[in-house]
Homo-oligomer: A and B are copies of this chain.
Amino acid sequence: MVARSGEFELIARYFAPISRRSAASLALSDDAAIFSQRQNHETVVTCDALVADVHFRAEDSPEMIARKVLRVNLSDIAAMGAKPVGVVLAAGYNRDLPEDWIVAFAKAFGEDCADFDVGLFGGDTVSTPGPSFFSLTAFGEIPCGRALRRNAARPGDVVAVTGTLGDATLGLAVLQGRLDLHDAQHHDYLCNRYWLPQPRLDTGMTAASLARRVAAMDISDGLAGDIRKIATASNVGFVLQQNLIPLSDSAQAAINLDPVHWQSILAGGDDYELLLCGHAADIARLGPDVTVIGTVTDKPSEVLIVDHNGKMAELTKGGFDHFSM
């Protein structure tokens, strides 16, 4: 990898101790890392790039940003049903960031890697006159043929989600002063959901271990938009039940304040929950964190939602699109 002015020292000081836990990294001291696949396993690989003030708020703490960079990628590994094993980080730090910021970022990144038991295989550290950016490539392992795909949904399946939806978008609204619930606990909860995604690795790995047909993806861009990607990949449609969509107490408080917040819950991104489709009996085996929210139909790309009044509407990428009849 290209070592640029100052990079070598930064890597040695802050990232080498993180990478030393991983045999693959060659302690960041060679041109490339080397890793071996476990027998009868495949490697899944995913990549997400995050840019300051586009994908995260530049004023957020380096610790929160570091964890988010790691976790949004681990969420993709979870969506494949794989176990994360390592990451490669390309970090472009704005050249005016103080070294303290980079130290805090590296420390938090290392701690989160340790918490998720993933190695830092290598990377590149550069300086940029523009906004900071972080591009992470993450690796996971999965027994051959077991990966959860988007194209596995079939008519008659149920569709389900992990956790609760909409919290992250509502958290961002709180941070931006667009939502005030007059309740510090609700605010803390929602902001933390925005800052600190919880990749659903256990649910993904459990689904893959069933060795049954389960379709999965992670909801990064919002339920309304992302469900259409499964619809397209599987050539199916959906009927969702609004009253089944799982909400946190804090999101419910926002809804109670103004039902307009349903748009955030249906179309807001950044939750990093999993969307899963399969036989009802298989989905039921995924545990209490998984909630069925509707069914899979044989109407390609038709995504309908039955609202609280029993009225059917089309769920467009932006949210509700009530029929004009």
List A residues at the B interface (Cβ < 8 Å): 1-4, 24, 26, 29-37, 42-51, 53-55, 72, 76-77, 79-80, 82, 88-92, 121-124, 126-131, 133, 135, 137, 139-140, 142, 144, 147, 149-151, 216-218, 220-221, 229, 233
Complex contacts, A142 vs chain B, CB 8 Å = 34
Complex contacts, A49 vs chain B, CB 8 Å = 90-92, 124, 126, 135
A130 interface neighbour in B43, B121, B122, B130, Cβ under 8 Å = B130
CB-CB under 8 A for A42 and B35, given A1-B76, A150-B29:
yes
Max chain B CB contacts within 10 Å: which of A3, A82, A137? Answer: A137
Q: CB distance A135 to B124 under 8 Å? A: yes
Complex contacts, A29 vs chain B, CB 8 Å = 150-151, 233
Complex contacts, A88 vs chain B, CB 8 Å = 45, 47, 137
A90 to B133, CA, bound (A): 11
A101 to B44, CA, bound (A): 31
Given contacts A31-B218, A45-B121, A54-B127, list 18 more A-B pairs with CB under 8 A: A4-B55, A4-B221, A30-B217, A30-B233, A31-B76, A32-B45, A32-B77, A32-B79, A33-B46, A34-B43, A34-B45, A49-B90, A49-B126, A51-B128, A55-B126, A90-B90, A90-B137, A130-B131
For A37, give the chain B residue with the smallest CB separation.
B37
Complex contacts, A24 vs chain B, CB 8 Å = 45
Q: CB distance A47 to B221 under 8 Å? A: no
Cross-chain pairs A/B with CB under 8 angstroms, 19 sampled: A1-B48, A3-B221, A26-B149, A29-B150, A31-B218, A34-B147, A35-B43, A36-B42, A36-B43, A43-B43, A45-B88, A46-B122, A47-B88, A47-B89, A49-B90, A50-B126, A124-B135, A130-B133, A133-B133
Q: CB distance B137 to A53 under 8 Å? A: no
For A232, give the chain B residue with the smallest CB separation.
B29
Q: CB distance A123 to B47 under 8 Å? A: yes
Q: CB distance B90 to A31 under 8 Å? A: no
Max chain B CB contacts within 10 Å: which of A3, A36, A122, A130? Answer: A130
Q: CB distance A30 to B121 under 8 Å? A: no
CB-CB under 8 A for A48 and B217, given A29-B150, A36-B42, A133-B128:
no
Q: CB distance B124 to A48 under 8 Å? A: yes
Q: CB distance A37 to B31 under 8 Å? A: no
Q: CB distance B80 to A129 under 8 Å? A: no
Q: CB distance B80 to A34 under 8 Å? A: yes
A3 to B77, CA, bound (A): 15
Closest Cβ of chain B: how far from A314's Cβ, in Å?
A: 20
Closest Cβ of chain B: how far from A31's Cβ, in Å?
A: 4
A33 interface neighbour in B2, B36, B44, B79, Cβ under 8 Å = B44
Q: CB distance A90 to B47 under 8 Å? A: yes
Max chain B CB contacts within 10 Å: which of A43, A51, A88, A123? Answer: A43
A140 interface neighbour in B32, B128, B149, Cβ under 8 Å = B32
